[in-house]
Amino acid sequence: MQRLIAVSNRVPKPGDRYTSGGLSVALRNALERAGGIWLGWSGEVQEAPDSEPKAQTTRFNNVDYVTVDLTRRDEEEYYNGFANRALWPLFHHRPGLTEFARRDMAGYYRVNQIFARILAPMVRPNDIIWVHDYHLIPLASELRALGVKNRIGFFLHIPWPAPELFTILPNHARLAVNLVNYDLVGFQTKPFMDNFIAYLKEEMNINAQGCLVEAFGRICQLGVYPISIDTQEFIRFAEAPASAIARRLEASLQGRMLALSVDRLDYSKGIPQRIDAIGRFLELYPEYHNRITALQIAPTTREAVPEYAEINREVAEAAGRINGRFGDIDWGPIRYINKSIGRATLAHLYRAAKIGVVTPLRDGMNLVSKEYIAAQDPRDPGVLILSRFAGAARELRGALQVNPYDIDGVAHALRAACEMSLEERIARFEPMLQHLKIYDVHRWRDDFIHALTPDHALAMSA
Ligand code: ADQ
């Protein structure tokens, strides 16, 4: 029996089905079906800085959840440092925010070695290994160095940058070699994959044959696997009777139109620009004063990284400015909250919103845009305003696509959304929902696992 081993920076809690997102549920289903292991950081910091990191295993429904405590230094160098101060900003095309330190890079490789040392003895000959995201690019190389010969796949949840940006990293060549050490590398969109292929050609003189890269004595297959959501689950949530929070929201709107945005508080999500666009909309179209409420839900993340404290201040200031300028004693145009909301409630909030405003400056996929569509009432769907720089823009063609840097353009799109006829809303919505029903997170997972299984590999190279 072929087991599946998943590795990601963090591991969800074993029995916690209720609060988990679509990705964890989809992966967990696959792990439970075939039996397997899910390995990652526990999120805990171990007190003794010099002792060998300890792994803890919890077995639940046929799956071993293996979590590793890291030291304070590991957390600082690997997670806050190289992953989130170097790779995250650079891969989102923000070189100005990118801070590279050799110490952080060493910590990044050290933690990847720790994960490999813990995992290698657990691997059986027929297992396939699926590694997730930018924290773990070197993991296959570290496993290979320990003699692991299994098929290893990697999925990148965030964009792959243009070659001239990628080469800003002093260790770009090493990271590229690390990636080629996988048997299968999945990207969210074709342009991200093309960026990697262009880098290999320009910097390393390696020509990909279609999606196959033959280099350093290995064959690595590249592919495009746009991640998705559990569409049926979101439809079910949205159709269930509204929760108390959703009812409170409806009552507080007093008949005003709701424009909703939901993001992790991150500078890649374009939140200050979006708030400015709402201000511009109110400036250009005063007839909408007191007729619209924009709700921005953005729980804080990665607070140890200074840029994240900065973005919170920036968003709060922008919201205060717009409310001060356009608000009245009985109406403020913008509500800004840092809460995290349960998934069933989130579906109700999406359904209550006549407009979903999803305008990241650059985003691997963006699942909020897909969740918004799945949650709509098919008889009276809302309008999605979507950044052309989200991976999801390549699939959600019925959205009003905008350039998030163009404040006037987003303001015009808000007006078009407010004025759109029911007929046009339905015509835009229906094909997007049909698409999401077919291309859901289960399909995404199955496609990737299928390509990673050895039979498929043989067929590809035949
Ligand atoms: P993220 O940058 O986290 O993910 P996104 O795809 O939008 O971005 O996923 C966010 C998830 O968190 C969604 O499921 C959303 O519902 C949930 N969420 C956000 N705010 C919330 C809140 N206030 N309360 C509750 N839930 C909230 C990264 C990449 C993306 C890529 C995903 C998956 O940056 O581009 O789509 O991984 O690959």
200 and 242, same domain (yes or no): no
For ligand 1, atom 38, name the residue with the nearest CA. Answer: 157
Assess whether 183 carries a catalytic annotation.
no
* Residue 454's pLDDT band (cuts 50, 70, 90): confident
Is residue 309 domain-shared with residue 400, that is, in the same domain? Answer: yes
Angstrom CA distances, 287 to 281, 332, 425, stand at 10, 15, 22
Strands 152-155 vs 184-187: parallel, antiparallel or unpaired: parallel
Q: pLDDT-derived band of residue 119, with 50, 70 and 90 as boundaries?
A: very high
Residues 270-303 as b/e (b if ≥16 CB within 10 A, e otherwise) read bbbbbbbbbbbbbeebeebeeebbbbbbbeeebe
Q: Is 66 exposed, middle or buried (0-12, 13-18, 19+ CB in 10 A)?
A: buried
In a domain, 63, yes or no: yes
Do 254 and 192 share a domain, yes or no?
Answer: no
Crossing angle (nearest 10°) for helices 244-253 and 343-352: 30
Flag whether 333 is in a domain.
yes
Together in a domain, 256 and 390: yes
Task: Give the pLDDT band of residue 17 (cuts 50, 70, 90).
Answer: low
Atom number in ligand 1 closest to CA 364? 35
> How many Å lie between the centroid of ligand 1 and the Cα of residue 392?
12
Looking at the structure, do residues 37 and 93 belong to the same domain, yes or no? yes
In the reported structure, the alpha carbon of residue 132 is separated from the centroid of ligand 1 by a whole-number distance in angstroms of: 15
Q: At 199, is the pLDDT very low, low, confident or very high (cuts 50, 70, 90)?
A: very high
Taking residues 185-198, what's their average pLDDT?
Answer: 98
At residue 461, the pLDDT reads 53
Distance 366 CA to ligand 1 centre (A): 6
Q: pTM of the full predicted structure? A: 0.96
C-beta of residue 32 within 8 angstroms of C-beta of residue 15 = no
Q: Is residue 462 part of a domain?
A: no
Question: How far, in Å, CA of 50 to CA of 63, rounded?
Answer: 30
Ligand 1 in reach of 367 Cβ (< 6 A): yes
CA of 108 to the centre of ligand 1 (A): 24
Q: Which atom of ligand 1 is nearest to the CA of 391?
A: 35
Name the pairing type of β-strands 36-45 and 55-60.
unpaired
Distances (CA, A) of 133 to 89, 280, 380: 14, 37, 37
Give, in degrees to the nearest 5, the angle at Cα 245 between 239 and 249: 95
Question: Tokens 């995201």 map to which residue?
Answer: 133
Residue 383 Cα, ligand 1 centroid: separation in angstroms?
A: 20
pLDDT band at 426 (very low <50, low <70, confident <90, very high): very high
Confidence band for 260, pLDDT divided at 50, 70 and 90: very high
Q: Are residues 24 and 170 in the same domain?
A: yes
Whether residue 431 has its Cβ less than 6 Å from ligand 1: no
Query: 163 and 291 share a domain?
Result: no
Residues 253 and 349 grouped into a single domain: yes
Centre of ligand 1 from the C-alpha of residue 147, in Å: 35
More confident residue, 462 or 326: 326
| Atom of ligand 1 minimally distant from the CA of 341 | 24
Give the model confidence (pLDDT) of 341-381 as tens digits: 999 999 999 999 999 999 999 999 999 999 999 999 999 99
Query: pLDDT tens across 82-97, in order?
Result: 999 999 999 999 999 9
Portion of the chain with pLDDT greater than 90, in percent:
87
Residue nearest to atom 28 of ligand 1 (CA): 157
The pLDDT of residue 21 is 72
Contacts of 191 (CB under 8 A, 6+ apart): none
- In this structure, the answer to whether residues 163 and 290 fall within a common structural domain is no
Lowest mean pLDDT among 54-58, 114-118, 181-185: 54-58
Between CA 182 and CA 212 the distance in angstroms is: 12
Instruction: Report the C-alpha gap between 83 and 288 in whole angstroms.
Output: 43
Of 132, 157, 412, 435, catalytic: 157
Q: Is the CB of 375 under 6 A from ligand 1?
A: no
Residue 355 within a domain? yes
Residue 58 CA to residue 66 CA, distance in Å, equals 7
Atom of ligand 1 nearest to the CA of 368: 7
Residues 134 and 39 in one domain: yes
Ligand 1 neighbour 366 (Cβ under 6 A): yes
For the cut 80, the answer to whether the pLDDT of residue 1 exceeds it is: no
In the predicted model, is pLDDT for residue 214 greater than 80?
yes
Position 452 pLDDT exceeds 70: yes
pLDDT band at 293 (very low <50, low <70, confident <90, very high): very high
CA separation, residue 72 to residues 48, 55, 445 (Å): 9, 16, 33
Contacts of 49 (CB under 8 A, 6+ apart): 71, 72, 73
pLDDT single digits (tens) 128-166: 999 999 999 999 999 999 999 999 999 999 999 999 999
Higher per-residue pLDDT: 300 or 277: 277
Lowest mean pLDDT among 43-47, 265-269, 284-288: 43-47
CB of residue 132 inside a 6 A radius of ligand 1: no
Residue nearest to atom 4 of ligand 1 (CA): 366
Least confident stretch, 103-117, 227-241, 445-459? 445-459
Our count of domains for the chain comes to 2
**CA 446 distance to own-chain centroid:** 19
Give residue 224's pLDDT.
98
Residues 88 and 192 in one domain: yes
Which range of residues forms the domain containing residue 312? 231-438
Q: Establish if 62 belongs to a structural domain.
A: yes
Q: How confident is the model at residue 19 (pLDDT cuts 50, 70, 90)?
A: low
Q: Ligand 1 centre and the CA of 78: distance in Å?
A: 22
Mean pLDDT of the chain: 94
Asked about 363 being catalytic, the answer comes back as: yes
Inside any domain, residue 366: yes
If you average pLDDT over residues 246-261, what whole number do you get? 96
The reply to whether ligand 1 has any atom less than 6 angstroms from the CB of 368 is: yes
CB of 363 closer than 6 angstroms to any ligand 1 atom? yes
Q: What is the pLDDT of residue 14?
A: 86
Pair (33, 176) in one structural domain: yes
- Say which residues have a Cβ less than 8 Å from residue 381's Cβ, sequence separation at least 6: 373, 425, 426, 428, 429
Does residue 302 belong to any structural domain of this protein?
A: yes
Q: Which ligand 1 atom is the nearest neighbour of the CA of 159?
A: 35
**Ligand 1 pocket check for 346: Cβ under 6 Å:** yes
Q: Quick check: CB of 262 below 6 Å from ligand 1?
A: yes
Mutation pick for ligand 1 pocket among 245, 312, 367 (CB with most ligand atoms within 8 Å)? 367
Q: Check which CATH number belongs to the domain holding 292 and give it.
A: 3.40.50.2000
Atom of ligand 1 minimally distant from the CA of 269: 2
pLDDT in tens, 178-188: 999 999 999 99
Distance in Å, CA 105 to ligand 1 centroid: 26
Say if 461 falls within a structural domain.
no
- For residue 21 and ligand 1, the question of a CB distance below 6 A is answered with yes
Query: Is the C-beta atom of 357 inside 6 A of ligand 1?
Result: no
Instruction: Name beta bridge partners: 233.
Output: none
Residue from 278, 271, 371 nearest 332 by CA: 278
